[in-house]
Amino acid sequence: MAYVSTKPTPPRKPPLNESTPLGWLKVNMFDTLFSSVLSILVLIAIFFSLKSMLTWGFIDGVWIAETRRECFQISIDGACWAGIIAWMDSIFYGLYPRDEIWRINLGGILLVIWMVPLWLPRVQGKVFVGFSAVALYPFLAGYLFSGGDKGIFVQVMIAGAIVCLVALTINAALGYFKNANLPNVIIDRLGKNDAPEKQKRNILLGVLAACLVAVFIWQLSWVEKSISWTRWGGLFLTFVIAGIGIASALPGGILLALGRRSKLKAVSFLSMGFIEVFRSVPLITVLFMATTMFPLFMPEGFVLNKLAQVIIAVCLFNACYMAETVRAGLQAIPKGQFEGAHTIGLGYWGTMGLIIMPQALKHMIPNIVGSFIGLLKDTTLVSIIGLFDLLNILRTISRDKPWLGLHQETLVFGALLFFVLCFAMSKYSRHLEVKLSTGHK
Partner 1 sequence: MATGDSGSEAARVKPQEKFNFFQDERVRSIFFQILTVSVVVWLVWFLASNTAQNLEKRGLSFGFEFLGVAAPFDPDFKLISFTPGVDTYSRIFWIGVLNTLYVSFLAIIGMSFLGFSLGIMRLSNNWLISRVALAYIEIARNVPLLIQIIFWYSVVYAILPRLKQSLDLSGGAELAFLNIRGLYVPWPVPGDLLWMTLVALVVSVIATYLYRRWAQKRQDETGESFPMFLPSVGILLGLPAIVFLTTGSPLAWDVPALQGFNFVGGASLPRAFIALLMALIFYHSAYLAEAVRAGVLSVNKGQTEAALAIGLRPGKVLSLVTIPQAMPAIVPPMISLWMNVVKNSSLATAIGYADLVAVYMQTSLNTAGHAIEIVGMTMGFYMITSLTISWLLNIYNKRVQLVER
Q: Which residues contact partner 1 by CB under 8 A?
A: 28-29, 31, 35, 38-39, 42-43, 46, 263-267, 270, 277, 279-282, 284-285, 288-289, 292-293, 295-300, 373, 377-378, 380-381, 383-384, 391, 395, 398, 407-408, 411-412, 414-415, 418-419, 422-423, 426
Residue 48 or 297 with smaller CB distance to partner 1? 297
Residues contacting 216, CB < 8 A, separation 6+ = 155, 156, 159
Q: How far apart are CA 439 and CA 441, in angstroms?
A: 7
Q: How far apart are the first and last CA of the chain?
A: 54
* Host H or E run for residue 168: helix 152-178
Residue 433 half-sphere exposure toward CB, CA atoms < 13 A = 15
Q: How far apart are CA 206 and CA 111, in angstroms?
A: 27
Minimum distance between the CB of residue 373 and partner 1, rounded to whole angstroms? Answer: 7
Residue 25 or 436 with smaller CB distance to partner 1? 25
Q: How far apart are CA 116 and CA 125, in angstroms?
A: 13
Residue 157 or 394 with smaller CB distance to partner 1? 394
Residue 165 or 382 with smaller CB distance to partner 1? 382
Minimum distance between the CB of residue 360 and partner 1, rounded to whole angstroms? Answer: 21
Minimum distance between the CB of residue 137 and partner 1, rounded to whole angstroms? Answer: 26
Q: How far apart are CA 124 and CA 214, in angstroms?
A: 26
Q: How far apart are CA 279 and CA 319, in angstroms?
A: 10
For residues 33 and 51, is the Cβ–Cβ distance under 8 A? no
Phi, psi of 122 (to 5 degrees): 70, 0
234: which strand partners? 389
Among 373, 357, 361, CA closest to 318: 373
Minimum distance between the CB of residue 398 and partner 1, rounded to whole angstroms? Answer: 8
Residue 293 or 436 with smaller CB distance to partner 1? 293
Residue 158 or 287 with smaller CB distance to partner 1? 287
Residue 143 or 321 with smaller CB distance to partner 1? 321
Residue 160 half-sphere exposure toward CB, CA atoms < 13 A = 13
Phi, psi of 302 (to 5 degrees): -95, 105
Residue 362 or 395 with smaller CB distance to partner 1? 395
Minimum distance between the CB of residue 119 and partner 1, rounded to whole angstroms? Answer: 23
For residues 362 and 436, is the Cβ–Cβ distance under 8 A? yes
Minimum distance between the CB of residue 66 and partner 1, rounded to whole angstroms? Answer: 22
Minimum distance between the CB of residue 227 and partner 1, rounded to whole angstroms? Answer: 27
Residues contacting 285, CB < 8 A, separation 6+ = none
Q: How far apart are CA 144 and CA 152, in angstroms?
A: 16
Query: What are the CB-based long-range contacts (under 8 Å, 24+) for 65-72?
Result: 66/402, 67/402, 67/403, 68/402, 68/403, 68/404, 68/405, 68/406
Residue 43 or 214 with smaller CB distance to partner 1? 43
Residue 167 or 382 with smaller CB distance to partner 1? 382
For residues 389 and 380, is the Cβ–Cβ distance under 8 A? yes
Minimum distance between the CB of residue 116 and partner 1, rounded to whole angstroms? Answer: 26
Minimum distance between the CB of residue 301 and partner 1, rounded to whole angstroms? Answer: 11
Minimum distance between the CB of residue 222 and partner 1, rounded to whole angstroms? Answer: 37
Q: How far apart are CA 310 and CA 293, in angstroms?
A: 12
Q: How far apart are CA 315 and CA 361, in angstroms?
A: 19
